[in-house]
């Protein structure tokens, strides 16, 4: 017995809804490097862990700290403005978002390569002895 037109439409709409939900889930954060920043306040890192011309992602803190030139420290939110994923690495003078390969300049967080069209949100970084303290 073949399905009725009503059953066929209901099944097709159900599958379309399922596919849409799966697509949205693939773009949402999972708490493991994608999605909303997990920053809950100030964070710190040893200044020696932030190389000149590079930087370090403060895992689980929601910040990335860079040192574009010697003794000049910068900090930014890890949340990429393109799709809300968290940046994951600093290489070759840029901060990299793994989701869609946006790159941001370590000096000011501005876009070096899209698809992002706006830069990372700046955070405050202060030197406290041999440590760097970061806050929103």
> Quick one: DSSP state of residue 35?
S
Look at residue 97 and tell me whether its pLDDT is greater than 90: yes
Q: What is the pLDDT of residue 71?
A: 94
Cβ pair 38, 30 in contact under 8 A: no
pLDDT value at position 83? 87
Contact 44, 133 (CB under 8 A): yes
Give the C-alpha separation, 111 to 103, whole Å. 6
Report the C-alpha gap between 50 and 97 in whole angstroms: 18
pLDDT (tens digit, 9 = 90+) per residue, 2-43? Answer: 667 666 566 655 555 544 444 443 444 443 344 444 455 789
Averaged pLDDT of the chain: 81
Q: What is the pLDDT of residue 89?
A: 93
What's the pLDDT band for 107 if we cut at 50, 70, 90? very high
Helix/strand/coil for 23: helix
| C-alpha closest to that of 115 among 104, 130, 126 | 104
Tell me, what's the pLDDT at 50?
Answer: 96
* Domains of the chain from N-terminus onward: 43-135 (2.102.10.10)
pLDDT, residue 114, reads 87
Strand partners, 126: 133
Per-residue tokens: 14: 């159900």
Answer yes or no: is pLDDT of 65 > 90. yes
* Residue 55: pLDDT over 60: yes
Question: What pLDDT, on a 0 to 100 scale, did the predictor assign at position 27?
Answer: 41
Alpha carbon 92 to its chain's center: 17
């Amino acid at each position: 017995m073949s399905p009725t037109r009503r059953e066929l439409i209901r099944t097709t709409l159900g599958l379309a809804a399922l596919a849409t939900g799966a697509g949205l889930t693939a773009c949402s954060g999972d708490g493991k490097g994608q999605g909303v920043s997990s920053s809950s306040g100030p964070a710190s890192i040893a200044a020696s862990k932030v190389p000149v011309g590079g930087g370090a992602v403060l895992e689980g803190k929601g910040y990335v700290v860079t040192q574009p030139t010697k003794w000049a420290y910068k900090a930014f939110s890890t949340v990429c403005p393109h799709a809300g994923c968290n940046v994951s690495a600093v290489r070759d003078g840029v901060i990299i978002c793994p989701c869609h390969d946006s790159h941001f300049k370590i000096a000011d967080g501005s876009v070096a390569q899209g698809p992002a069209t706006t830069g990372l949100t700046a955070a405050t970084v202060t030197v406290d002895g041999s440590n760097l303290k970061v806050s929103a």
